[in-house]
Structure 1
């Protein structure tokens, strides 16, 4: 088995393969969570398990046992001081066709990877962000969920290769700002913290939920032209934490006090961060 495979469990077994008839592969029929572990602990674990259970209920999937997932996540991340653990749950195998099988036996994949480099300058001075041409489609039945269909994000991320641009801004078809390609979006407007409503499209991130629990904020539609007038903009991610935006589609922004306060909050949760 390849070196990378020793950090992958499929239904509890050390392997790196699933059936070609798995509905996750055939139809994107499933969900995933991406967690950051620090010294064997995931500070946002309860929020991840809450979102996974909610997503399974919405898709009609049996939810995996959270205690078992924690045991497997710790096993695959053992020996890594900082790790990214991805938990994937699919509807399992089934006959050809969209109709779900009458008896569902989900596939459970738990994999660990070393935490990628997180440049200190990004946290201290902010990141540059561009506006993506791709527009997110509206589907309220799937909005907020971290389901396996991520082709919109793949196509959006393929729009640029400049390493100086760290993220892309995604809007919906009517021009409302929704999120970055991999992170949730926050802006300070007229002294109030605002984050886009996600009832039509987008992912309700675990990092976003933590920010909303820590600080009062308006959750509402955020037209692009209003966002471009913001005093400060920052992004949230359960893996990357809080990243200020210093440039948005050519417009210069300053790293503001709200982003700095949320970075301090993140460190208080147990995440190592460079900035603040």
Structure 2
């Protein structure tokens, strides 16, 4: 299954009809594995397709080999149906690959610059939270800049509310509370975000970018890269909207990085 060639009539290839997971694996041990499998199972249930058997998935991390790897798992509805109409009894395909990974420690400790994206995410509550294959909005948003000093782009929905970054979730500290955007209309419910929610009280809010400007600190995070504190926020034209001092003792990194096996302090 690892090197499966998808036929042209595969619905994942043709329509984005499927899901994927990207899992950090360290020496054959998957980090946040249960959270990834739970999100995949929920996504399959919501899309109405059978999930891959757990007995087939559990051996995958060990097969990734030594070192730090990213395991990408793709599940599609398979072939069949007529046009957009799916088959009554789908026969899903799934495939995986492992890629050697090197994180960016400087971004953990020195912080990053991010920008607001001009692209707006469409609202669709039936897909909100899922890591589905139809990611053209993210691709177009990521095309908005090619400056390597900009690490991420923050996206709002069609109503102007913050949702997420192009490949990461967004968290900020405001009036002593950790807040993160509601993901009930758009966006991906990240596994690291879910783990952080279990560790501390994340307030899920519907917020415009102005609320972010009032924050004492802000971060982007995911289960592969870890936590990047935001140092500079720019608008879609490049003008600086806000600067933050990056704390040496970062509270969110202290919560998140032990879950991923990443250091909390520089050179630790």
TM-score by length of 2: 0.92
List runs of 5+ in structure 1 lacking aligned partners.
Answer: 1-9
Report the secondary structure of 2:160's partner residue.
coil
Corresponding position of 2:262: 272
1:189 and 1:231 in contact (8 A); partners too: yes
- Residues 193 and 267 (structure 1 numbering): CA distance in 2 closer, same or farther, change over 3 Å? closer
Q: Matches of 2:150 and 2:189 in 1, distance apart?
A: 23
Cα displacement (A) at 1:118: 2.4
Residue in 1 that maps onto 2:19? 31
Given that 2:192 and 2:256 are in contact with CA atoms closer than 8 Å, whether structure 1 keeps it comes out as no
Q: Indicate which of 191, 197, 205 corresponds to 1:206.
A: 191
CA apart distance, 1:255 = 2.1
Distance 1:33 1:96 in 2: 27
| CA distance, structure 1, for counterparts of residue 12 and residue 165 of structure 2 | 24
Between the aligned partners of 2:105 and 2:211, the Cα distance in structure 1 is 29
Cα displacement (A) at 1:205 = 0.6
Separation of aligned partners in 2, 1:229 and 1:109: 44
**Equivalences for residues 131-142 of structure 1 within 5 A:** 131-142=116-127
Alpha-carbon distance change, 267 to 198 in structure 1, aligned in 2, over 3 angstroms: closer
Return 5+ residue gaps in structure 2 as ranges. 235-239
Q: 1:36 to 1:266 in 2, by over 3 A?
A: same
Question: How far has the Cα of 1:175 moved from its partner?
Answer: 1.6
How well do the aligned residues superpose, as a CA RMSD in angstroms?
A: 1.6
Which secondary structure state, in structure 1, belongs to the residue aligned with residue 58 of structure 2? helix
2:9 corresponds to 1:21: yes
C-alpha contact 1:91 1:104 (8 A) present in aligned 2: yes
Alpha-carbon offset, residue 96 of structure 1: 4.1
Checking the alignment, whether the CA contact within 8 Å between 2:108 and 2:226 is kept in structure 1 is no
Q: Give 2:144's match in structure 1, choosing from 159, 166, 170.
A: 159
Q: In the alignment, does 2:159 pair up with 1:174?
A: yes
The CA deviation string for residues 159-207 of structure 1, in whole angstroms up to 9 with x for no partner, is 0000000000101122211111000000111111100001111111101
Aligned partners of 1:190, 1:180: CA distance in 2, in Å?
22
Aligned to 1:254: 245
The residue aligned with 1:106 is 92
Shift in CA distance, 270/122, structure 1 to aligned 2, threshold 3 Å: closer
TM-score normalised by L of structure 1: 0.90
d(CA) in 2 for partners of 1:274, 1:19: 45
What SS does the corresponding residue of 1:138 show, helix, strand or coil? coil
Q: Distance in 2 between matches of 1:267 and 1:205?
A: 15
Per-residue deviation, 1:217:
1.7
Task: Report the Cα offset of residue 245 of structure 1.
Answer: 0.5
Instruction: After superposition, give the CA deviation of every residue in 1:5-24 in whole Å (9 maximum; x if it has no partner).
Output: xxxxx2xxx52411111100
Among candidates 223, 247, 255, match of residue 238 of structure 1: 223
5 Å-filtered alignment, 1:10-159, equals 10=1, 14-75=2-63, 77-78=64-65, 80-115=66-101, 117-159=102-144
**Secondary structure of 2:138's match?**
helix
Task: Provide the rounded CA distance (Å) in 1 between the counterparts of 2:52 and 2:33.
Answer: 14
Task: Give per-residue Cα distances to partners, 1:212-233, cap 9 Å, x unaligned.
Answer: 1111121111111111111100
| 2:27–2:68 Cα contact (<8 Å) kept | yes
**Residue-pair matches, total:** 260
| Structure 1 residue 275: Cα displacement | 4.3
Q: Secondary structure at the match of 1:171?
A: strand
